[in-house]
Copies of this chain bind each other. A is one copy, B any other.
Amino acid sequence: MSDVVLDWTRRARTGLPEAILCEGKSDEQIARILDLAAERGERLLLTRLPRDRFASLPAGLQACLDYEPVSRTAMTGAAPALQDLGVAVVTAGSSDRPVAEEARRTLAAEGVDALMIGDVGVAGLWRLLERIPELSERSVIVAVAGMEGALFSVLPGLVPGLVVAVPTSVGYGVGAGGRAALSTALASCAPGLVVVNIDNGYGAACAALKVVRPRGSGSATEVA
């Protein structure tokens, strides 16, 4: 069964590259994907690849990957130069950092640098308020929060840029698995707020890319 068919034309169609969610794939499948990418000289982003799983890959594969453990991501190929296009990534608490790093790495894989601001949850509101001037300069803010996710509701009322909420699975009891943070993000009456799946730092970064890059610019660089 030909169980791997990569979507090589995605960038031409959508301006975004193919990424590989490693969770649920066997080592054989990951190896095959990396081979296919190498054959075509394509750059790939691998997500949800924990440190111990990376360490168990064949040394040959490890060698050709740029791995970063907090974000649990790996990249093939040379990293592009970074450019500031007005994206910020903020977290409510330090436990949300891995998801924020996944967003940062996805942006970096496309040559976009992000302003990173951590631990500005609303329980101590001054921490957020003192960063509002900086955040008001940004076109897109990826907000990463678990627990009850009240940050998602406060932030869009304070800044002019689009806020992309990434609920995280940080929490317990009613907040377990990120459900409370997700429902806050969706039920919020704050306009200018959009939402992606729980822990989906990659998806939030892709949305940010679509906002800050002129249409077609991505494909021009990569596919030609």
Q: Which residues of A contact B (CB under 8 A)?
A: 1-5, 7, 9-10, 13-16, 19, 21, 23-25, 29, 48, 91, 93-95, 97, 100-101, 104, 116-127, 139, 146-150, 152-154, 156-162, 164, 167, 169-200, 202-204, 206-207, 209-211, 215-216, 218-219
Are B157 and A13 in contact (CB-based, < 8 A)?
Answer: yes
Q: Is the interface of A mostly helix, strand, loop or mixed?
A: mixed
**Chain B residues positioned under 8 Å from A174 (CB to CB):** 182-183, 186-187, 197-198
**Chain B residues positioned under 8 Å from A149 (CB to CB):** 184
Residue in B19, B148, B161, B190 whose CB lies within 8 Å of A183: B148
| Closest CB in chain B relative to A77 CB, distance in Å | 18
**Chain B residues positioned under 8 Å from A190 (CB to CB):** 122-123
**Chain B residues positioned under 8 Å from A211 (CB to CB):** 162, 211
| Closest CB in chain B relative to A8 CB, distance in Å | 8
Are B148 and A187 in contact (CB-based, < 8 A)?
Answer: yes
Residue in B100, B125, B219 whose CB lies within 8 Å of A154: B125
Q: In whole angstroms, how far apart are the Cα atoms of A164 and B195 in the complex?
A: 9
**Chain B residues positioned under 8 Å from A210 (CB to CB):** 160-162, 192
Q: In whole angstroms, how far apart are the Cα atoms of A156 and B210 in the complex?
A: 11
- Chain B CB within 10 A, most for which of A120, A126, A157: A157
Residue in B3, B147, B150 whose CB lies within 8 Å of A97: B3
A203 with B191, Cβ < 8 A, contacts A10-B124, A150-B153 known:
yes
| Closest CB in chain B relative to A189 CB, distance in Å | 5
Closest CB pairs A-B (n = 4): A173-B198, A7-B124, A175-B187, A3-B118
- Chain B CB within 10 A, most for which of A122, A147, A191: A191
